[in-house]
Each structure stands twice: as C-alpha cells, then as structure tokens.
Amino acid sequence: MVSRPSRSAIGKTLFLTLGALSAGVVNGLLGTGAGTALYFLYRRAKKSAGGGGAKECFCAAMTAVLPLSLLSALTYSREAADGTGLLLPLIVPAALGGLLGAAISERARPDALRLAFSLIVTFGGVYMLFG
C-alpha cells in the first residue's frame, strides 16, 4: 500500500514551489533579487524543519540562482552589448571575484556574512533611489 503525503508536506512543497516561482519572476523583471528571495524562502523552510544554518541556506540560494543568472545573461546579452566594450571587462573579473568570495565565505562567520550582505543591499537600495 502506497502512503499519501501529509497535508503539511503538501503545504511545504506548495510554499517552496510558489516561492521559487516568485523569485524567478522577480529575477526576470529586475535582473536581480532571486538569491535574496530564495535565501529567505529556504531559511524559513529549514527553520520549520528544525535545522538549516544561515551559511547552508545562503549556499543553497546561490546554487539555485546559477541557472537564473545564465538565463538572464542569454536574455539580456543583446541589450548589454551596447558597443562600449564594457561587457567583457566586467565578466572575467566578476567571475574571479565570485570564486574568491566563495573561498572567503567558507571561512567567514555567518554573522559577518549577514552584516556584509545587509550593508551591500542597503547601499544598493539607497544608490538606486538617490544615485
């Protein structure tokens, strides 16, 4: 006899699915934000299950963002190639910086990562509004 999933399992799956879909929509509209949304989504799901540290949730969100970033790059590449020659000099150093940041994050304390993330998001928001 096959057992049926519980209502709480169905609810959690629905919550995660709709939340991830929403994160994808945000990423498609704004080109950013999916990682933040997925972090909070994953963190809430892990906390309700009795586990999941901040670092684990951050890593899971970044892993999920990779395909979104590739899709965004493919979608917006024509608009980004504006003839100024700025695109290539951004890609390589950013990728190397991503590798360096990942290596640093393995040794960093979760509270330091949260503080750094909060400062960057706050600065970015203020700059977008008033910069």
List pLDDT tens digits, range 65-123.
888 888 877 777 766 666 566 677 777 888 899 889 888 888 888 888 889 888 988 99
For residue 1, tell me if it sits in a domain: no
Number of domains forming the structure of the chain: 1
pLDDT, tens digit (0-9, with 9 covering 90-100), for 38-57 = 888 888 888 776 776 777 88
CA separation for the pair 125, 119 (Å, rounded)? 10
Q: Which tokens go with 42? A: 């994953």
Calculate the dihedral angle through the C-alpha atoms of 44, 47, 52, 58, rounding to the nearest 10 degrees.
20
In a domain? residue 47: yes
Residue 3 is encoded by which pair of tokens? 């057992």
- Flag whether the pTM goes above 0.85: no
**Rounded Cα distance, 89 and 116, in Å:** 25
Containing domain of residue 112, as a range? 7-130
**Is 106 inside any structural domain?**
yes
- Find, among 124, 129, 115, 131, the residue nearest to 33 by Cα: 124
Q: Tell me if 124 is assigned to some domain.
A: yes
| Percent composition of the chain: helix, strand, coil (DSSP 3-state, to 5) | 80, 0, 20
2 located within any domain: no
